[in-house]
């Protein structure tokens, strides 16, 4: 019996003994989701609301919370989890709009506002940080983004729109990237190699030296997509390996997410760890490779197979064989880039 089956049995046994144990319910839901048992998984996903830190939902204090059934009246959708999760879970907004009375407003991270307003021009968006300033009288019920997924029981095999790109990049930033690359005939490959997730970031991250040691012979133009100050890492790689990773001037990838999305859309492909870069690339349809860790750093929506993502078909998933060992993953990523981009 594999670890997955043992985990399933332990969750089910825990719920037999204590049916209201929300942590077991949540873990069971994640198990079903990673194995594409959508109805069971999304029903249990609701349990995250009872666990400290599982969802970090930005509730409005004065609006009734949705507890199941068809959302009635004017619906406020509030943000939860991190930037990548906001992008991923927003895939359900179009379906929700057709399956509720009125989708009155959606809150997102303030840095995402220009992106969502451009991508869904008919919807109203507000800053997640300022949700309490919204007039409670404008809404009849509020749902967290994850509640939208639970209500709709999102299934990319049933609803084709869930597999399509759903965000639009600003063409100006794509143009800037290409203008800066004028005269360069090599393919532009964006690279991002670590996660800032407080709990799982270490398991999902590599070093730029690890990545470029495997990629140094490829005739491509590398473009930095990694958020945070990585200038020292980039300089060390150039000195040690002779590989240049270009940082596009004037783009603050930590705070100007609209410009960052434009860079991602302007690349011919991306190579990224399991982080927000992967969600942004998939959301605009940029081809790429996502290297997925084993163990607790693995997020359910990357599932188990080395294949195209169900949610982001432009992305190829490559999973670690062993936790902490990126050698085989980098070899496969190298082969994919060489085959498809050079």
* Beta carbons of 154 and 89 less than 8 angstroms apart: no
Residue 280 CB neighbour total at 10 angstroms = 28
Q: What is the pLDDT of residue 202?
A: 79
Q: Is the pLDDT of residue 50 over 60?
A: yes
* Beta carbons of 254 and 227 less than 8 angstroms apart: yes
Q: Is the pLDDT of residue 10 over 80?
A: no
* Beta carbons of 204 and 237 less than 8 angstroms apart: no
pLDDT grade, residue 263 (50/70/90)?
very high
Strand order across the beta sheet in which 245-246 lies:
245-246, 221-224, 188-192, 269-273, 288-292, 315-319
- Per residue in 284-305, pLDDT (tens digit) is 999 999 999 988 888 999 998 7
Three-class DSSP category at 104: strand
The span from the CA of 90 to the CA of 136, in Å, is 22
Could you tell me the pTM of the whole model? 0.93
Name the nearest CA neighbour of 65 among 131, 141, 137.
Answer: 141
- Per residue in 68-120, pLDDT (tens digit) is 999 999 999 999 999 999 999 999 999 999 999 999 999 999 999 999 999 99
Compute the mean pLDDT over every residue in the chain, rounded to the nearest whole number.
90
Handedness of CA 156, 194, 50, 142 (dihedral sign): negative
- Per residue in 172-205, pLDDT (tens digit) is 877 666 665 556 678 999 999 998 876 777 788 8
For 242-273, give the DSSP string.
---EEPPTT--TTT-HHHHHHHHHHSSEEEEE
Enter the tokens of residue 189.
Answer: 């490959």
The answer for residues whose C-beta is within 8 angstroms of residue 218's C-beta and 6 or more apart is 189, 334, 337, 338, 342
Out of 56-60, 162-166, 183-187, pick the least confident. Answer: 183-187
For 124-172, give the DSSP string.
-EEEGGGGGGS-GGG-SEEEEHHHHHHHHT--TTT-GGGGS------HH
Handedness of CA 106, 228, 190, 339 (dihedral sign): negative
The span from the CA of 217 to the CA of 215, in Å, is 6
The span from the CA of 274 to the CA of 289, in Å, is 10
Three-class DSSP category at 211: helix
User: Looking at residue 192, what DSSP letter applies?
Assistant: E
pLDDT grade, residue 317 (50/70/90)?
very high
Q: What is the pLDDT of residue 4?
A: 67
For 277-335, give the DSSP string.
HHHHHHHHT--EEEEE-SGGG--GGG-SSSSB-SS-TTEEEEE-SSTT--HHHHHHHHH
Q: Is the pLDDT of residue 54 over 90?
A: no
Out of 21-25, 42-46, 268-272, 319-323, pick the least confident. Answer: 21-25
């Amino acid at each position: 019996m594999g670890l997955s089956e043992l985990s399933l049995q332990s969750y089910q046994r825990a719920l037999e003994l204590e049916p209201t144990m929300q942590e077991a319910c949540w873990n069971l839901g994640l198990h079903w989701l990673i194995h594409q048992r959508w109805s069971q998984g999304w029903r249990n996903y609701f349990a995250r609301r009872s666990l400290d830190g599982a969802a970090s939902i930005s509730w409005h204090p004065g609006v009734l919370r949705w507890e199941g059934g068809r959302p009635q009246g004017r619906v406020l959708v509030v943000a939860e989890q991190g930037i990548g999760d906001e992008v991923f879970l927003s895939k359900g907004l179009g379906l929700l709009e057709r399956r509720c009375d009125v989708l009155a407003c959606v809150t997102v991270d303030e840095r995402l506002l220009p992106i969502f307003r451009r991508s869904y021009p008919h919807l109203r968006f507000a800053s997640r940080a300022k949700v309490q300033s919204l007039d409670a009288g404008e809404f009849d019920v509020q749902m967290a983004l994850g509640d939208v997924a639970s209500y709709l029981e999102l299934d990319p095999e049933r609803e084709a729109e869930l597999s399509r790109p759903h965000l639009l990049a600003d063409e100006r930033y794509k143009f800037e990237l290409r203008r800066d690359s004028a005269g360069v005939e090599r393919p532009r490959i964006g690279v991002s190699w670590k996660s800032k997730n407080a709990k799982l970031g270490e398991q999902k991250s590599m070093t730029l030296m690890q990545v470029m040691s495997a990629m140094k012979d490829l005739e491509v133009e590398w473009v930095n997509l990694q958020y945070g100050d990585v200038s020292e890492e980039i300089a060390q790689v150039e000195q040690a390996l002779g590989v240049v990773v270009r940082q596009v001037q004037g783009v603050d990838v930590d705070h100007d997410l609209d410009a960052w999305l434009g860079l991602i859309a302007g690349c011919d492909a991306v190579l990224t760890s399991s982080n927000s870069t992967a969600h942004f690339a998939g959301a605009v349809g940029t081809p790429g490779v996502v290297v997925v860790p084993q163990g607790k750093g693995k997020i359910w929506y990357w599932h188990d197979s080395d294949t195209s993502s169900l949610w982001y078909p432009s992305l190829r998933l490559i999973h670690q064989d062993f936790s902490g060992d990126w050698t085989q993953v980098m070899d496969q990523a190298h082969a994919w880039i060489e085959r498809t981009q050079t």
